Amino acid sequence: MTEKIQAIRGMNDILADETGRWQSLEALIRRVLEQYGYQEIRFPILEKTELFAHSIGETTDIVSKEMYSFVDRNGDNLTLRPEGTAGCVRAGLQHSLFQTGVQKLWYNGPMFRRERPQKGRLRQFHQTGVEAFGLPGPDIDAELILLCARLWRELGLDDITLQINSLGSAAARLAYRNVLVEYFTGHKDQLDEDSRARLERNPLRILDSKDPDLQNLIANAPAMSGYLDPESADHFAGLQELLTGAGVTFTVNPRLVRGLDYYCKTVFEWVTSRLGAQGTVCAGGRYDGMVEHFGGKTTPAVGFALGMERLLELADLKEPLDSRPDLYFIHAGAGSEARAMQLAEQVRDAHPSLKVILHCGGGGMKSQFKKADRSGASLALILAEDELARNTVAIKHLRRDLPQREVAWPALPGALSELLMNV
Ligand code: ATP
Ligand code: MG
């Protein structure tokens, strides 16, 4: 081969010395979600492109420039999922989940967006998404936020702050959109190129611009709150009351808008100042119109997605389990290998929680002992010619100054129970 093949930029390998932290985080999230009665759903990574175009919205950054799309051999337009809500809704509709009452679902997995790779911004990244279908009131919005707050607490993160806003009904947003277009058109000379394009296509997104030169203009723009319809205003007031009652601190950020076109009423973001420009750890909101838009019956829905890489960057997670083995099985001499393999299987049968490394790759006793020692195992099992002749195994303590023992083969699992209780 001429050049070494490298992974695609922005798509990282997660090596064995990192997967422990991932597993800890995933286990914690799963446990908290189960505490609230959410159930896991899994759906494909690849979907028809139109699913994303019609749910996220043609004018959003994701659909207009970040999707990995290709034409399949039979002419289908397919896309690697850039987020999970669309696939979750598609699966729910396909399997008639929304006709059987409330659905509280979650998923975790890779998402793909062709962004400029940088710290906290990858092209393959991972999200945990949580979606609740069939509940129209602010109670469920509040529950999702409380669930997040619990996660941060359990992770020991006290510097993630909550911002909320209401985008109102579709009609209210349209009215607000017109007001915004008028305002920004009046200041067109101050807009950057991106924002000028957004002015026609998706003016609400100008509020989301990260351009420092625009911040003043954005701060002085008319706020959505002045244009909320009464129902959305009530919903928003209800949410704030519930959050206050539950002791959750929040800021109302009238400039907070979200990428999806179908968001309505509640939107929220959890933000930290510790990750620079990539400070949003978790974001979500209500999308009451989406199920209906895809041909289902009207189904209120609310959800959020949290960025696993950003959370891992913040959290001080310990490896879940000691990765060191308990036993390292050394064997030498004719016939010992097959016997050692049998005995190791018996030990694994009797003690499913033990890590048993059977030495592979040959070599003399001395080098095997070295490997056993380096592995960090607490005990070595030894089957050399003498032991083989006597139908026994020797058990040697590697970390403690205790005498070596010799046990008959059938007695090995029992002897290990005794010993390992005291290690
Ligand atoms: P941003 O404003 O940072 O681009 P977004 O609004 O595009 O975020 P969402 O689509 O709401 O992000 O995704 C929810 C969460 O997923 C984000 O808050 C973030 O933590 C994470 N996330 C989004 N895009 C990426 C990415 N390219 N790399 C890593 N994490 C990401
Ligand atoms: Mg983005």
Query: In this predicted structure, what is the pLDDT of residue 423?
Result: 53
Residue 404 DSSP SS3: coil
Token pair for residue 248? 């959750």
Q: Whose CA is nearest to atom 2 of ligand 1?
A: 280
Q: Distance from the CA of 73 to the center of ligand 2, in angstroms?
A: 30
Q: Helix 138-154 to helix 230-245 angle, to the nearest 10 degrees?
A: 40
Closest atom, ligand 1, to C-alpha of 270: 18
* Residue nearest to ligand 1 atom 24, measured at CA: 121
Tell me how long the chain is. Answer: 423
Protein residues with CB under 6 Å of any ligand 1 atom: 83, 113, 115, 120-122, 125, 127, 259, 278, 280-283, 305, 307, 309-310
DSSP per residue over 107-140, as a string? Answer: EEEEEE-----BTTB-SEEEEEEEEEES--SHHH
Determine the 3-state secondary structure of 331 from DSSP.
strand
pLDDT at residue number 321: 58
Q: Please state the atom number of ligand 1 nearest to the C-alpha of residue 259.
A: 6
Q: Is the pTM of this model over 0.85?
A: yes
Protein residue closest via CA to atom 7 of ligand 1: 259
pLDDT at 187: 92
Q: Quick one: tokens of 272? A: 């930290």
Which residue minimizes the CA distance to atom 5 of ligand 1? Answer: 259
**Nearest atom (ligand 1) to Cα of 210:** 2
Please compute, for residue 230, the number of CA atoms within 13 A of its CA located in the half-sphere on the CB side.
0
The structural architecture, per CATH, of the domain 16-169+229-314 is 2-Layer Sandwich (3.30)
Q: Which atom of ligand 1 is nearest to the CA of 208?
A: 2
Task: Supply the residue whose CA is at minimum distance from atom 16 of ligand 1.
Answer: 307
Where in the chain is CATH 3.30.930.10?
Answer: 16-169+229-314
Ligand 1 centre to CA of 135 (Å) is: 25
**Ligand 2 center–CA 66 separation, angstroms:** 9
Best probe residue, ligand 1, of 56, 161, 280, 304 (max atoms within 8 Å of C-beta):
280
Query: Are β-strands 161-166 and 250-252 bridged in parallel, bridged antiparallel, or unpaired?
Result: parallel
Query: Which DSSP string do the residues of 211-247 spell out, in sequence order?
Result: -GGGHHHHHTSPPGGGG--HHHHHHHHHHHHHHHHTT
**How remote is the CA of residue 423 from the centroid of ligand 2, in Å?**
50
Identity of residue 90: R
Q: Which atom of ligand 1 is nearest to the CA of 304?
A: 14
pLDDT (0 to 100) of residue 238: 98
Q: How confident is the model at residue 262, as a pLDDT?
A: 78
- 75, 52 Cβ separation under 8 angstroms: no
Are 336 and 394 in contact, with CB atoms under 8 Å apart? Answer: no
Q: Are 260 and 174 in contact (CB under 8 A)?
A: no
Q: Which two tokens stand for residue 199?
A: 């002015």
Contact 198, 205 (CB under 8 A): yes
Q: Which of 310, 311, 312, 314 to mutate to test the pocket of ligand 1 (most atoms within 8 A of CB)?
A: 310
Distance between Cα 307 and ligand 1 center (Å): 6
Q: pLDDT tens per residue, the chain (423 residues)? A: 678 999 999 999 999 999 999 999 999 999 999 999 999 999 999 999 999 999 998 888 899 899 999 999 999 999 999 999 999 999 999 999 999 899 999 999 999 999 999 999 999 999 999 999 999 999 999 999 999 999 999 999 999 999 999 999 988 988 999 999 999 999 989 988 888 888 888 888 898 888 888 899 999 999 988 899 999 999 999 999 999 999 999 999 988 987 677 789 999 999 998 888 889 999 999 999 999 999 999 999 999 999 999 999 999 887 655 678 999 999 999 999 999 999 999 999 999 999 999 999 999 999 999 999 999 999 999 999 999 999 999 999 999 999 999 999 999 999 999 887 765
Separation of CA 200 and ligand 2 centre (Å): 20
> How far, in Å, from the CA of 142 to the mean position of ligand 1?
21
Query: Element (H or E) spanning 181, and its range?
Result: helix 170-186
Task: Quote the tokens at residue 23.
Answer: 């597993």
Residue extent(s) of CATH 3.40.50.800 domains in the chain: 324-420
**117 CA distance to ligand 2 centroid (A)?**
11
Q: 252 CA to middle of ligand 1, Å?
A: 20
CATH architecture under which domain 324-420 falls: 3-Layer(aba) Sandwich (3.40)
